[in-house]
């Protein structure tokens, strides 16, 4: 059951997607000020939330990995970072499209834009260190993930002092019920996809670790036999 859960989540997501898309494009009224471009909101906001959640999971798993050198925590941190990277990319691509339609320019250097872009950069740096650094740099990558999780609210506050014109968090809170009814299916479908992929990727990374260890053990045995023959 545990092994099948990610696939169950993906199947559920596949079932919800058509309903979510139909709701957003056919049943949701067009927003008066922003026009049709507002429909991006229903995909942009869930991806933004999931990107931050993945960064948080990555930071917490990295802290556990660093304290206990747990391979499971290492796999969770890496898988969460990869999915955070993808969600962040989605946010950074859909945001400027929405911004261009609403503010007249895709990038305004606003607090939330800059903090999201920097969070994405930290996740990208973490992935580069994990994939291209030597194996001993795993601990360094974990520290990077922890710092990244701490950095995000600080960057956000710093840019807010500088300038901001992004919709405040109250905008999401004050959404009319009709828009919430469209946001929930979109959020559900994207979240189920992300968690399904997270489960599959964690299992894949743990299997790769187990395979590496088995490979090393077998190779050691073969080398010992060679020495005995000589």
Question: Which residues bind to another protein, rule: CB under 8 A?
Answer: 66-71, 118, 121-122, 124-125, 128-129, 132-137, 139-140, 142-144, 146-148, 150-151, 154-155, 158-159, 161-162, 212-213, 215-216, 218-220, 222-223
Beta strands of 52-210 (E only): which ranges? Answer: none
CA end-to-end distance (rounded Å), the chain: 50
Closest to another protein by CB, 51 or 192:
51
Of 195, 171, 194, the residue nearest 183 (C-alpha): 171
User: What contacts 190, CB < 8 A, 6 or more positions away?
Assistant: 13, 43, 46, 47, 50
Three-state SS at 31: strand
Q: Which helix (H) or strand (E) segment is 205 a member of?
A: helix 177-229
Smallest distance from the beta carbon of 219 to another protein, in angstroms? 4
CA–CA gap between residue 43 and residue 97 (Å, rounded): 12
User: What contacts 68, CB < 8 A, 6 or more positions away?
Assistant: none
Closest to another protein by CB, 69 or 204:
69
Smallest distance from the beta carbon of 230 to another protein, in angstroms? 16
Closest to another protein by CB, 5 or 158:
158
Smallest distance from the beta carbon of 191 to another protein, in angstroms? 26
Closest to another protein by CB, 179 or 205:
205
Helices (H), 104-168: 111-132, 138-162
Smallest distance from the beta carbon of 4 to another protein, in angstroms? 27
Closest to another protein by CB, 104 or 134:
134
């Amino acid at each position: 059951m545990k092994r099948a859960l990610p696939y169950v989540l993906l199947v559920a997501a596949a079932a919800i997607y058509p309903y979510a898309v139909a709701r957003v494009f056919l049943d949701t009224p067009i927003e008066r000020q922003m026009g049709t471009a507002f429909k991006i909101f229903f995909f942009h906001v869930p991806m933004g939330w999931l990107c931050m959640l993945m960064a948080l999971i990555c930071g917490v798993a990295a802290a556990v990995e660093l304290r206990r050198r747990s391979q499971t925590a290492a796999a969770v941190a890496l898988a969460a970072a990869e999915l955070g990277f993808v969600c962040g990319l989605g946010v950074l691509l859909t945001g400027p499209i929405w911004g261009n339609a609403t503010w007249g320019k895709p990038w305004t250097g606003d607090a939330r834009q800059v903090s999201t872009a920097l969070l994405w950069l930290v996740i990208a740096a973490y992935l580069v260190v994990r994939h291209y650094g030597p194996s001993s740099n795993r601990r360094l990558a974990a520290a990077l993930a922890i710092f990244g999780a701490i950095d995000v609210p600080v960057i956000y506050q710093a840019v807010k002092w500088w300038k901001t014109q992004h919709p405040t968090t109250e905008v999401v809170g004050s959404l009319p019920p009709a828009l919430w009814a469209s946001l929930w299916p979109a959020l559900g479908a994207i979240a189920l996809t992300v968690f399904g992929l997270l489960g599959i990727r964690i299992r894949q990374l743990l299997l790769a670790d187990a395979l590496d260890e088995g490979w090393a053990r077998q190779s050691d045995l073969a080398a010992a036999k060679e020495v005995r023959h000589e």
